[in-house]
Amino acid sequence: MTSNLKVMMLSWEYPPRVIGGISPHVFFLSKSLVEVGVEVYVVTCDFPGAPAHETIDGVEVYRIDSYKTPSPDFATWVYLMNLNMQKEAATLAARLPGKIDLFHAHDWLVATAGIGLKHVFRKPLLATMHSTEVGRREGIHTATEKMIHETEAWLTYEAWKVICCSNYMVQHVKWAFGLPDDKLVMVSNGVNSNIYEAAGKQDCESFRREFALPEEKLVLFVGRLVYEKGAHVLVNAIPRVLEKVNAKFVIVGSGYMKDQLASIVKSMGLEHKVMFTGFLDEEKLTRLQTCADVSVVPSLFEPFGIVALEAMAAKSAVVVSDTGGLSEIVDHDSTGVKVYPNNTESLAWGITKVLLDEKFRAQISRNGYRKIREEYDWGKIAKETKKVYEGVLGEYSKSFWA
Amino acid sequence: MRVIIFTWEYPPRIVGQLSEYTSALATQLVKNKTDTYVVTYHPYLTGVTEEPNGAKTTRIANPVRTHIGVLTWVLTLNEEVERVAANIYYQNKKVDLIDVYDWHFIPAAVTLKSALGISFVYSVDSLEDHRSHDADAPFNMAIKSIEWLGFYEATKITAKSEWMRDEIIRIYKVPKERIGIVSPNTSGWINDVLRTYTEIAGGTRTR
Residue B206 lies in a domain: no
Provide the domain limits for residue B184: 2-201
Largest CA distance in chain B: 45
Residues from chain B that touch A91, judged by Cβ atoms under 8 A, are 114-115
Structural domains for chain A: 6-190+377-397 (3.40.50.2000), 194-375 (3.40.50.2000)
**Among A200, A256, A269, A250, which Cα is nearest to A227's?**
A256
pLDDT at site A136: 81
Does residue A275 register a pLDDT over 60?
yes
pLDDT in tens, A45-81: 999 999 999 999 999 999 999 998 889 999 999 999 9
Contact B72 A146 (CB under 8 A): no
Mean pLDDT of A6-30: 93
Check residue B15 and give its pLDDT.
93
Q: Determine contact: B114 vs chain A, CB below 8 A.
A: yes
End-to-end, the C-alpha distance of chain B in Å comes to 22
B58 part of contact set with chain A, CB < 8 Å:
no
The total domain count for chain B is 1
Is the residue at B72 inside a domain?
yes
The pLDDT, as a whole number, for residue A124 is 98
Q: What is the pLDDT of residues A145-165, one digit of tens each?
A: 999 999 999 999 999 999 999
Count other Cβ atoms within 10 Å, centred on residue B137.
10
User: Each residue of B101-121: pLDDT tens digit?
Assistant: 999 999 999 999 999 999 999
For residue A383, pLDDT beyond 70: yes
Query: Which of these, B158, B35, B8, lies nearest to B95 by C-alpha position?
Result: B35
d(CA A123, CA A112): 15
Quote the pTM value.
0.90
Separation of alpha carbons B72 and A73, rounded Å: 11
Which DSSP symbol is given to A92?
A: H
Which residues between 121 and 180 in chain B have a beta carbon less than 8 angstroms from any beta carbon of chain A? 137-139, 141-142, 145-146
pLDDT above 60 (res A85): yes
Backbone angles phi, psi at A138, to 5 degrees: 55, 50
User: How large is the angle between the packed helices A143-158 and B70-92, nearest 10 degrees?
Assistant: 20
The backbone region for B50, taken as left when phi is positive above 0, alpha when psi lies in -120 to 50, beta otherwise, is beta
The confidence score (pLDDT) of residue B205 equals 42
Say if CB A358 and CB A245 are below 8 A apart: no
**pLDDT at position A20, please?**
77
- pLDDT given for residue B203 in this prediction: 53
Q: Are strands B156-159 and B47-50 parallel, antiparallel or unpaired?
A: unpaired
Q: Given pLDDT bands bounded at 50, 70 and 90, which one contains residue A282?
A: confident
**Has residue B62 been placed in a domain?**
yes
Residue partners of A358: CB distance under 8 A and separation at least 6: none
Q: Which of A243, A217, A222, A250 is nearest to A357 (CA)?
A: A217
Question: How much is the pLDDT for B172?
Answer: 97
Of residues A234 and A24, which shows the higher confidence score? A234
Residue B101 placed within a domain: yes
Statement: residue B207 has pLDDT above 60: no
Residues B150/B119, Cβ–Cβ less than 8 Å:
no
Residue B87: CATH number of its domain: 3.40.50.2000
In this predicted structure, what is the pLDDT of residue A2?
44
Report yes or no: A241 and A247 within 8 Å, Cβ to Cβ.
Answer: yes
Residue B202: predicted pLDDT:
66
- Residues of B in Cβ contact (< 8 Å) with A143: 66-68
For residues B102 and B145, the answer to whether their CB atoms sit within 8 Å is: no
Asked whether the beta carbons of residue B79 and residue A91 sit closer than 8 angstroms, the reply is no
SS3 A210: coil
Q: How far apart are CA A146 and CA A92, in angstroms?
A: 33
Query: What distances in angstroms separate CA A71 from CA A76, A88, A390, one per listed residue?
Result: 6, 19, 39
Bridge partners of A61, per DSSP, are: A42, A54
Cis peptide before A180 (omega within 30 of 0): no
Judge whether B64 is closer than 8 Å to chain A, CB to CB. yes
User: What are the pLDDT digits (tens) for B52-105?
Assistant: 999 999 999 999 999 999 999 999 999 999 999 999 999 999 999 999 999 999
DSSP secondary structure letters along B59-122? EE--S----SSHHHHHHHHHHHHHHHHHHHHHHHS---EEEEESSTTHHHHHHHHHHH---EEE
Averaged over A317-332, what is the pLDDT? 95
pLDDT of residue A202: 83
- Pick the residue of B114, B140, B144 with the most A CBs within 10 A to test the interface with A by mutation: B114
A224 confidence band (pLDDT: 50, 70, 90): confident
Task: Note whether A31 and A60 are within 8 A (CB).
Answer: no
Q: What is the ipTM of this complex?
A: 0.95
SS3 at position A298? coil
- The mean pLDDT value of chain A amounts to 95
pLDDT value at A279 more than 90: no
Question: What pLDDT digit, counting tens, does each position of B8-41 carry?
Answer: 999 999 999 999 999 999 999 999 999 999 999 9
Residue B207 lies in a domain: no
A302 pLDDT exceeds 90? no
The mean of the pLDDT values for chain B is 95
**Residue environment code for A123-139, b if the CB has 16+ CB neighbours within 10 A, otherwise e:** bbbbbbbbbbbbbeeee
